[in-house]
Structure formats: structure tokens, C-alpha cells
């Protein structure tokens, strides 16, 4: 065994921070699923909205990225 209680806290914290990515996954799935259900109802209007789709996905993903960032900071910067 090596390391100390501080290291343990770092690793546990990094693992806990990754739970936030699940929220981002739900958000991205919600955006894409709603886009698909809307696109199947009105396929003619779908093509113009793909840019909006990607912007929505990018914004939903941003918060998951912050949790990834927290995990990285805990592992490498503390």
C-alpha cells in the first residue's frame, strides 16, 4: 500500500465528479431525441434546424465537461 488519506480523497473525489457526466448524457439524449421526434413529424423543416441541434447539444454538453474538468483538476492539479 502506498499513498495517504489525501490521495484517497483525490481519487474518490475524481470518481464522484464523473457522476456529473451522467447528467450531461441525459441532457444530450434529451436534445437529440426531441429533435428526432420533431424531425419525423415534419421532415421538411428538419434540415434547417441541424445547426440548432448541434448548438443545443454543445450547450448541454458543457456542464458535463465542467465535471470532467473538476476530475482532471483533482487528479493532476491538487
Please report, as residue ranges, which positions from 40 to 59 form the binding site for other proteins (by CB under 8 A).
Answer: 51, 54-55, 57-58
Nearer to other proteins, 37 or 48 (CB): 48
Give the separation between CA 6 and CA 41, rounded to whole angstroms: 54
Q: Which residues contact 46 (CB under 8 A, 6 or more apart)?
A: 35, 38, 39
Nearer to other proteins, 39 or 49 (CB): 49
Binding string to other proteins for residues 7 to 36, with x set by CB under 8 A, is what? ----x-------------------------
Amino acid at each position: 500500500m502506498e499513498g495517504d488519506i489525501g490521495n484517497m480523497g483525490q481519487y474518490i473525489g475524481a470518481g464522484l465528479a464523473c457522476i456529473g457526466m451522467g447528467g450531461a448524457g441525459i441532457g444530450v439524449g434529451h436534445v437529440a431525441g426531441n429533435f428526432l421526434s420533431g424531425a419525423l413529424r415534419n421532415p421538411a423543416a428538419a434540415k434547417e434546424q441541424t445547426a440548432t441541434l448541434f448548438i443545443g447539444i454543445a450547450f448541454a454538453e458543457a456542464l458535463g465537461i465542467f465535471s470532467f474538468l473538476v476530475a482532471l483538476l483533482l487528479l493532476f492539479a491538487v
